[in-house]
Structures are given as structure tokens and as C-alpha cells.
A and B are shown apart, each in its own frame.
Chain A
């Protein structure tokens, strides 16, 4: 194919959708490498420390869309100290210098500052879309800069970020000339916004299709907004609670029938059962419903809503839905692909009303189910075996039994057989999270059968190094492995060190790995960054005193062509 003109090769590459495919073709020969790199527009960097930003910009000068991820996944659960790293500014600066044509930036689990946002806003004249997921470090001042300077902004999507509230004026910064918004999501902001400004912004945005309001937005405002934006496809409702005697309530009841395009609903921060009734007219067309922030809705009211949602594809709920509610989901939502059931009672004494029965019911009733995240207090092997049989098409299966190390309550056995059935049956499984009482046996099964597995999360499981070794040996496509509180030590860590260069990252915390083991790994594999996180106060002094047999609390190992990072805080020690 090298004798085709470059334009033709480039055109052929256009048909390659995934990053992986484009990465692969670029390794065929130098000519293809050149064609590919000059034509790539969407760049994805899975680990911001795997490569320096400048190298990315140099390789892909025509980049239009950049996606970067920072902190390890377990940072979501407070296992990574606050200022570990993952700074966005170097990426924004490098792009500002070399890729002025940037149009989209998507950051996940990174530290973004107001300065960074301002630099972003001022540097890219064609900038269209900013998506920040689980980031922190910025405030509404940064948002004001984006609103002010990004002419032609189409998308501002803030998902579950920690944003400092410096006042409500940021929304006013969208100039009157800004009429291009398609998607605006500020659901994670804690503060108020100027509702008049918001309504005017909505009124002058004819292309607005996705709007997610924060908790501070009242039903009164929601009514006005819906009146101005009847073409919304995706709505985050704001607080969604109002006294049923108020006029706003009656207006709410009449607001939704006009929204014929509505397909996706979320928010419901303080939603009351009465207000949910407003949704009945649109239920029948809903494909996405996220009620996972609405603890005030009891199971019966959830059922009343869901029993109309025949087209639902994605459902996120709290466990107050109960097994009974999940049975209704099973019989109603035949198009369901993704289900997430979150616990409503995290600190309590186990007052949950979903058990293994609910999961089995949904697996049995929803033939298209391929992605599950399920929090419950108990699970049995027989239930898992039934689920595996019902749903061989799982791509993601994440089960969290809230008591670590809890066995099957019927038989008192570990859940090895249940999860074994899952990996045996679901040949396309890409992501798996385990919980409950598990021995090395389950890892034997995973190594044997989970050939497509890319991400595995393990907690409080296993008996010996063998468990981890089974996984490293058998899972050929493994990219991310994260382990906490398991008895895996140096033997497992060092068994196949070359494996880690085929993976994005390895996280181990509260395991049996020692300093000596980490040093050995770092010595053997220079292209891995072996980072030790030690949060004790006297870390600096103790560094000299640390003997090789000391166990390390947390290690994060990742492949990198950038060498050890230069922004590591003092509690991170790169070997």
C-alpha cells in the first residue's frame, strides 16, 4: 500500500475508528507513521505521566481533540493523597504552544487550575468543547474565563468535579453573542447561579440539547427553562422538589409533555415522590434515567415511574428500589443495557433492600444487559452462576458486596465458583470488579477464561502470590490492575516483570509487597515508573532507615517513556 499517494492512505486511515487501530497502523512502516501522525485528530493519553505533553504535540500537530487521564482510579476512593499529581497545566501550555487548532479537551481525574482554564480559554480560537470529569483544583472563576473568551463554545460539561464556589457571576460571562451552546452541564456546582442569566442563555441557544442543572436550581426556574428549551434531549433536573400546593408544582406537571425530544434524565437531588409524577408523560421515550442521587424516593414510587419506561437502556438507581423494584425493571425494560445500583445506606447496619435476587431477576429479564455495577450486602454462588448463564454478553461486571470478605451466606463458601462462572460465560468481559470472600481459586479461573479482560479490581481477596500470578499469566489483554488489601507480595510482583510494560498501570495498596521487591522491579525495568506512596510524616528521615524488608503501603507502577516525573510530591518516591 505504500505506492498509493499519501492522500489515499490518509483517507483509508480515516475509516479507522479506534485509537488502538491507528496506533497499530502507525507501527507498520515509517511512511505510514508519518501519514498517520499528520492526519490524527483525536488523541487519547490514558496516563498523563506516560509521555511528556511536548512529545504528543510534536507528533500530532493537527490535533483537534485531546483526552488525558491523570490519577489512578483508586483516587476516587480517597486512596491517593490529595496532592499526588495529575496536573493539567503542562498539557494546556504545551497545546497552547504547538496546537493552536485545538477544539476539544477532555480531562479525567486531573488537577485543573483557574490559571489553566484561563490559558485554555485564551489560546484556542476554535475551541468548542471542554469536558472535565472528577477533576478538582479550580473554581467558578475559571469557568468565568471559559465563558468569556471561548467564542463559539459548544460544550461545557462538568461531571462530578470538586469546584470551589467563588460566586454566581460566571454564568453571566457568556456574552450575548454566544448562541452556539449545545451542551451545558454544571450539575456538580454547589453554589447558586443567576437564574435570569441562565434563562436568557437558554433562550438564545437554539441548538441546546443537553442541560444539566445543579441542586440550587429550583422548580420555578426549571419550569421557565423548560418553556424556553422544549427541544432538550438530556436534562438534569436540579433540586426537583416543591410543595404540591404551590403554583410551581402545577406548572411542573404541565412542563414535561411539551418536551417531546427528552430521552435522558438525571439530577433529582431532593426529588419528592409527588414531583416525580411530572415525568410520567415522558417516561415512555426515556433511554437514560439516573435517579441515584434521590434518596427520598421510596421503592414503590420508583416502581411507578419505571413501569412506564419501556425503552430504557441505562438505569442508575439507589438500592431503595429493592428486589421488588428490580423485578419490575426486569419485566419492563427489555432494552436495558446498563444497570447501576448504588447503596443508599453506606454507614448503616445493612438496611438495604437489594440482594442477589434483584440481580438475578434483571439478568433474566433483560437480554441486552451488558454492563452492571451492583452494591449489595450479600451474594451467592448460585445467583452468580444464574446471572452468568443469563447474560453471556457482559462487557462490564462490577459487584461490590459491602462487607469485605463475606462468603456465600447459604453455603458459607467463597464466591470463587460464582465469579468463575461469570468469566467462563462472558467471553467478551472487559472490566471486572470482585468482592466477597475469594481464594486463589477465583484468580485461577480468571486467568484461564478472562481473555478479553482489560481492567481488574480486587479487594480483600486471595490467599497467596499464586492468585496474582494466575492473573498476570492468563489475562493477555490486561491493561489496568488495581489491588488493595490482598496477600500478594514480592513473589507475585516479580514473577513476570515484562508484563507491566504491556499494561497501562498496576496499583497495589495494603498488600505484602516490600521495599526490596519494588527496588528489584525498578532495577529490572527501567521503562517503568515504580512509585511508592508513603504518607507517614517522617518519610524523609525514614527513607534512609527503611530496610528492604519493610512493606510498602502503596505502590503505583506504570509504563512511561517520560522517565520519572518531576512534579512528584515528597510522599511519592520513584525508585
Chain B
């Protein structure tokens, strides 16, 4: 049994599915290509495999090493309670559930022992093609499936008509504010806190659940994953340096020093710079987020500065 490959995101493979899911098909090739979930806005041509790979590569920063991986997975683990009773592997395997809509093919590939795209699959095949026990061997690499889940929110939004819920219901639930709280009891009505996120220049808005993040850093990485497809090529290329001694409270490191700044609208309707107040205070008062161009954010600086002064 070969050791699990080290990888930091799901492997999209050209591997024939028979190898990915041993023992299932009558035929060698299950031809899952037909059923593979294709990313893309409705009406657009389904992107080629390469494109998809390109997209996912960028979604996760290269620095997504084991340490931070576990951090995010803790966030998910805490939120859900799926127990993979197969009892294999560590906590990563427990994360092999949930919203990974991104690519069923990717999942299968990962479950079978995912590959880095573009790399030779031959090395992996023999291992996976062995007897049913191989499934157990493959299990530890299922941890990579956790990364499927990480990307789930981005992909999920793009499949037309899925999940099959009547649009009436979808629209009604969208209006149901996640901010309903039973204030008097002091307990949250629901376990999630979705706020809209808009980004200047992006064609559509997203929603992020503030409850899945425990601090600004996690929020930063969530936002980055959601919107990196729009900033592709701009990351790190240039950025308005935001010194003024406030750089640690700004989230310009959000997008690797690009020219974007994250702001939020608070309960009073004011637009504030993200990062000034403690995390809990932020989630309590945040109504929506906006990623704006740094050049537009100049006007916010004075307010942030005042806050800073008041704090000190």
C-alpha cells in the first residue's frame, strides 16, 4: 500500500473512474464524465477540465498547509456533527462529508486516492486497483475531500436548479433574516449568520456565514476563496500600500496585498472598516460586507483612525 500523496486540495483527475471507485462498475470505465458536475454560470459552455483545475488551484492559496488546513477543518467539525463511522484515519476523514458539491468526480477521485491534476496517474492506479482493502488504504487521503467541502460554497451557487427546491421557498427563506434572534433568551435562534458580501466589479453577490469563522483571519480566507476568481491575476500584482500605521487592522492582506479593502455595514447603517473591533462584537453588529477598491475606501480611513484614537 502506497502512502497517501501529499496534496492541499482535491485532485481532479483524468483517471478512469473504475480506478477511483474500485469494485463498483460492471464495466471498466463508468464514464462518469457524463455525470460530472460542471461548473459555470447557467448557459455557459462547460469549462474544460483544465479550466476547472485552474480555477480550483487558485481558490486555495498555496500556503494551505497542514496547519491551517486543520484550523479550517476544526471550524467545520465544530459546526457539523457527521460521524464517519468507518472509523478510519484522523479528524480529516471525519470531514469527508458535507457540502462538497464541487465535483463528484473529484470526490470519487479523492476517495479513491486523489491525484494532483496533470500528474501521472499511473503511479496511483495500481494501489487503488488492488483488492477492496485498498479502500481502507485510500481512506486517509480522503482527508483531501475536506477541501472539497472548503470549496463547496463557491461551487454550489453555480448549479442551476439545484438543490431541487421550489423558487418560492428559496425566495422566502432568503428573506427570512438570519439575524432573527430571541434576544430575551440570549440564545441564537439559528446556528448560522449569513451576511451578503458584495465586491466591486463582481457580477454577483455572495453570502458568507460568519458563524463558520472564528476570527478575522478565517473570514479573510473565506472571502478570498469566494472572490479570488475575480481577482485572478491581480493578486499581489500591485496594491495601494495602506500604511498609516493601521495595516494590522486592515484586511488588505486579505487578497495578498491587492488594492481591495473589506468594509461592513453595522447596525446603525454606517460603513466601517473590518478589523477594528473584537470578533464577537463584529459578528454582532455586522449586517453586510463589501469588498471595495482601496481607492474608494480612502474616506473610511478617518473613521477608523478616530476609533483607534478612542481606543487608545
B100 touches A351 (CB 8 A): no
Determine the distance from Cα of A536 to Cα of B153 in the docked complex, in whole angstroms. 27
Complex Cα spacing A536 to B43, Å: 7
- What residues on B are CB-neighbors of A461 within 8 Å? 35
Q: Which of A509-538 contact B (CB under 8 A)?
A: 512, 535-536
Which residues between 170 and 191 of chain B lie within 8 Å of chain A, taking CB atoms?
170, 172-173, 176, 178, 180-182, 184-185, 187-191
Answer yes or no: A79 CB below 8 A from chain B CBs: yes
Query: When the two chains form the complex, which single residue of A77, A353, A405, A535 contacts B164, counting CB atoms closer than 8 Å?
Result: A77
Whether, in the assembled complex, A502 has its beta carbon less than 8 Å from a beta carbon of chain B, the answer is no
* Residues on B with beta carbons closer than 8 Å to the beta carbon of A295: 173, 176, 178, 180, 189-190
B window 80-128: CB within 8 A of A: 80-82, 84-86, 96-101, 104-105, 107-108, 111-112
User: Given A378-B82, A404-B101, A404-B162: A346 and B182 within 8 A (CB)?
Assistant: no
Give how many B residues have a beta carbon under 8 Å from the other chain's beta carbons.
72
With both beta carbons as reference points, the residue of chain A lying nearest to B103 in the complex is identified as: A405
A378 contacts which chain B residues (CB < 8 A)? 82, 97
Q: Is A296's CB under 8 angstroms from B164's CB? A: no
Assess whether B37 is in contact with A343, with CB atoms less than 8 Å apart: no
Whether A463 touches B153, Cβ cut-off 8 Å, given contacts A270-B176, A413-B21, is: no
Q: How far is the CA of A406 from the CA of B76 in the complex (A)?
A: 19
Is B79 positioned at the interface, with any CB of A under 8 Å from its CB?
Answer: yes
Q: With an 8 A cutoff between CB atoms, is B311 at the interface?
A: no
A406 touches B107 (CB 8 A): yes
CB pair A296 B165 closer than 8 Å: no
In the complex formed, the residue of A with least CB distance to B148 is A403
Residue of A nearest to B31 (CB): A463
Please tell me if B24 contacts chain A, counting CB pairs below 8 Å: yes
User: Which B residues lie within 8 Å of A351 (CB)?
Assistant: 79-80, 98, 191-192, 209, 212
Distance in Å: Cβ of B205 to nearest Cβ of chain A: 11
Q: Interface with B: A31-39, A200-208, A479-487, which one?
A: A479-487
B191 contacts which chain A residues (CB < 8 A)? 298, 320, 351
Does A244 touch B at the CB level, under 8 Å?
Answer: yes
Residues of B within 8 Å of A160, CB to CB, are 166, 168-169
- Closest chain A residue, CB of each to CB of B20: A412
Interface residue? B159 (CB, 8 A): yes
Which residues in window 34-78 of A have CB below 8 A to B? Answer: 74, 76-78
A sample of 11 more A-B contacts (CB under 8 A), given A348-B209, A460-B104, is A273-B182, A320-B191, A350-B99, A351-B79, A353-B81, A405-B35, A406-B100, A410-B86, A439-B24, A462-B34, A463-B25
27 contacts between A and B (CB under 8 A): A162-B168, A188-B168, A245-B184, A269-B172, A293-B172, A296-B180, A343-B165, A347-B157, A348-B153, A348-B209, A349-B150, A350-B76, A350-B98, A351-B98, A377-B97, A404-B101, A404-B159, A405-B32, A405-B35, A405-B107, A406-B100, A406-B104, A407-B21, A409-B97, A412-B108, A437-B104, A486-B34
The 4 closest A-B pairs by CB, nearest first: A350-B98, A487-B34, A405-B104, A350-B99
